[in-house]
Structure formats: C-alpha cells, structure tokens
Amino acid sequence: MDNNFIEQLQNVLEEGQVSLQEPMERHTTFRAGGPADYFVRPKRRQIQPVVSLCRQYQVPWMVIGNGSNLLVGDKGVRGLVIELGRMAGISVEGDVVQAEAGALLSATARRAAEEGLTGMEFAAGIPGSIGGAVVMNAGAYGGEMCHIIKEATVLTKEGEEKSLSLPELELGYRKSCILKNQYIVLEARLQLSAGDKETVFQRMAELRDRRTEKQPLEYPSAGSTFKRPEGYFAGKLIQDSGLRGYQVGGAQVSEKHCGFVINKEKATAAEIRQLISDVQDRVEGQFGVRLEPEVKFTGEF
C-alpha cells in the first residue's frame, strides 16, 4: 500500500468514498472474488482527479458498474477499482432519456415507462448499468442498446469529456470502441418513442415473467455466460454436450438454462473459471465450436 497515494485519494474524495482491501464479492453478481487494493465510489466531478492520481502514482485502475459481467479472481485486484454507483441520475426531456453511467438499466427502463416512453422494455431485466450496457452493447429479446442510443459522453484517457454519436461508438455484438480507446462512460442519451404507459409496463412484465420462468435468477450469476456463436445457440450446444447440471465445486451449469453458469454453493472464482473452461473444451470436442465467454475475467486467480 502506498500511503502517499491513499492520502491524496482521501484529499480528492470524501469520507466513506475510499475503501482498502474491499472484497469484490460484494460488487459482482457472481458474488465471488478477492479484495481490491483500493476501491472508490466517486461522483462524476471526482473521476478525472482520481484517474490522474492513478497515472501519477502508476497505480493500475479499472471501472465497474453493477459488476454483472465480471469474474474477479480469488486473490483480488491489484490497483484501484472505480465503482460508478454514485452516478445514477436519470432525467427525461421529451422522448429522450439521459442516464448517468451508474444508473441501473432496470431503473432507467422503469423511468422511461413512467414517462410513457417505449423502446427500452428489452433492457428492464438486464442486471447491469447504463455504462456497462454502452460498453458491451447489451441486448435481450431482440433489442440492443445500439437501437436506442443517441449519443454517449465519455472521459478520454487525456482527461477530457467528449460526446460520441452512435456511429462513433462503433457498437457491434457485445462490443464498442470504449475499451480499446480507454474511455470511461459518464452518461448516455437514449432516443425512445412515445407509447402507451400501460402497454409498456405490460410488455416489461411479460419479459420479466419469461426471464423468471427460463433463467436461474435465484442464484448468483453473470447472466448469459457465453456469446452467441455464429449459427448456434450456446445453451443448446452445452445441453447437447451432456453438461446440464455439471458442477465444479460450488459452480454449476444451470439445470434450468444451460447457457448460465451459476454460483450454487459459495463457489470460488477459480471454480467458476474452471467450469467455464471445461464447458468450452467439451463443446469444442463434440461440435468443433469454441464458445467465447461474455464474462470478463480480471484480477489474480
């Protein structure tokens, strides 16, 4: 631990915003992972000074939202984790919703519905934040963020705020330009359409019921574990490989939906990662298809 770095962090931030050796199992939907050396929850105006300090002291850093697409190693994260949970503002002007990066997709979709706006129903059940959804072009039930994003405001690695249009974001299947350019998403403006409030809420309820029926929401997971392979469905390949219910320690291929790896019994990150690797090897051996994880691995395993 660098005491000078900690002191400078505490000068930039406020009491309660800095934690040391923070267990990352508290901040990921897998509910697994070791401690981060430094963990901060800044307000928007504090992000640039925090990143500048990291560069000054050569401390590696990473940004997380709701931790819904992340597996952190059991030995934790060396460096600093910036969690955007304090940046959760949502505002509406006409048919445009402006949401800060830390706002949950569920809360943003609900606010849109309350305003009688349609187009975001697909995202209501995705357990992520706006920032992560922009980075990964999150999608479900035929909808994707690229269908509704008007523009996003990012912080560049040089510390400047920049507005990116939809084409400039380079959104594709579970990808964007954000990571390769080392941007931090600050907020997004979503272009929706006027709709009937009751109809919008009804559609959200229908999708919620479908999720509850088909997905293992009662267990910690990162949602769909694998990207959709060209011409196939990951869950079907896993099921046809005889892996329904396959278990490594406390980690399991869900019996309810084979596309989900769940933390069934206090699994370690190493067990979850090993199970994912086993699934990849078995499916490739039987069908010649190498599944690519949607889950991002970080930290030391």
Asked if pLDDT for residue 222 goes beyond 90, the answer is yes
Q: What local confidence, expressed as pLDDT, does residue 291 receive? A: 98
Q: Beta-strand (E) ranges in the chain?
A: 18-23, 35-40, 61-64, 70-72, 77-83, 90-93, 96-100, 117-118, 139-140, 143-144, 149-155, 161-165, 184-191, 193-194, 221-224, 247-248, 251-253, 260-263, 296-298
Is 86 one of the annotated active-site residues of the chain?
Answer: no
Asked if pLDDT for residue 2 goes beyond 90, the answer is no
Q: What local confidence, expressed as pLDDT, does residue 247 receive? A: 98
Length of the chain: 301
Determine the Cα angle at 130 with ends 193 and 30, to 5°: 135
Give the residue ranges of DSSP H helices in 32-187.
44-56, 105-114, 130-136, 166-169
- CA dist., res. 255 & res. 262, Å (int): 10
For residues 55-71, average pLDDT: 95
Q: What is the CATH number of the domain that holds 35?
A: 3.30.43.10
Q: What local confidence, expressed as pLDDT, does residue 26 receive? A: 97
**Digit-coded pLDDT (tens) for 260-277:** 999 999 999 999 999 999
Annotated active-site residue in 22, 121, 271, 294: 294
Q: What local confidence, expressed as pLDDT, does residue 158 receive? A: 87
Does residue 171 sit in the same domain as residue 229? Answer: no
What is the chain's percent helix, strand, coil content, to nearest 5? 30, 30, 40
User: Which among 192, 214, 101 has a CA at the least distance from the CA of 147?
Assistant: 192
Q: What local confidence, expressed as pLDDT, does residue 4 receive? A: 95
Range of the domain at 144: 90-199
Q: What local confidence, expressed as pLDDT, does residue 1 receive? A: 78
- CA dist., res. 267 & res. 86, Å (int): 29
Is residue 187 domain-resident?
yes
pLDDT band at 200 (very low <50, low <70, confident <90, very high): very high
Is 294 one of the annotated active-site residues of the chain?
Answer: yes
**Residues linked to residue 251 through DSSP beta bridges, in sequence order:** 248, 263
Asked if 152 and 134 touch (Cβ cutoff 8 Å), the reply is yes
Does residue 133 sit in the same domain as residue 153? Answer: yes
- 78: which residues sit within 8 A by CB, 6+ positions away? 37, 60, 299, 300
Q: Of 148, 165, 199, which one is at a domain's C-terminal end?
A: 199
Asked if pLDDT for residue 205 goes beyond 90, the answer is yes
Tokens coding 61 = 């850093």
For residues 225-231, average pLDDT: 95
Q: Of 139, 167, 199, which one is at a domain's C-terminal end?
A: 199
Annotated active-site residue in 106, 129, 221, 224: 224
**Digit-coded pLDDT (tens) for 74-132:** 999 999 999 999 999 999 999 999 999 999 999 999 999 999 999 999 999 999 999 99
For residues 200-210, average pLDDT: 96
User: What's the burial of 60, exposed, middle or buried (CB within 10 Å: 0-12/13-18/19+)?
Assistant: exposed
Does residue 15 sit in the same domain as residue 64? Answer: yes
- CA dist., res. 221 & res. 125, Å (int): 14
Is residue 208 domain-resident?
no
Annotated active-site residue in 174, 208, 228, 244: 174
Is residue 205 domain-resident?
no
Is 224 one of the annotated active-site residues of the chain?
Answer: yes
Number of domains observed in the structure of the chain:
3
Does residue 192 sit in the same domain as residue 96? Answer: yes
Asked if pLDDT for residue 226 goes beyond 90, the answer is yes
Is residue 204 domain-resident?
no
pLDDT mean across residues, the chain:
96
Is residue 207 domain-resident?
no
For residues 190-198, average pLDDT: 97
Is residue 157 domain-resident?
yes
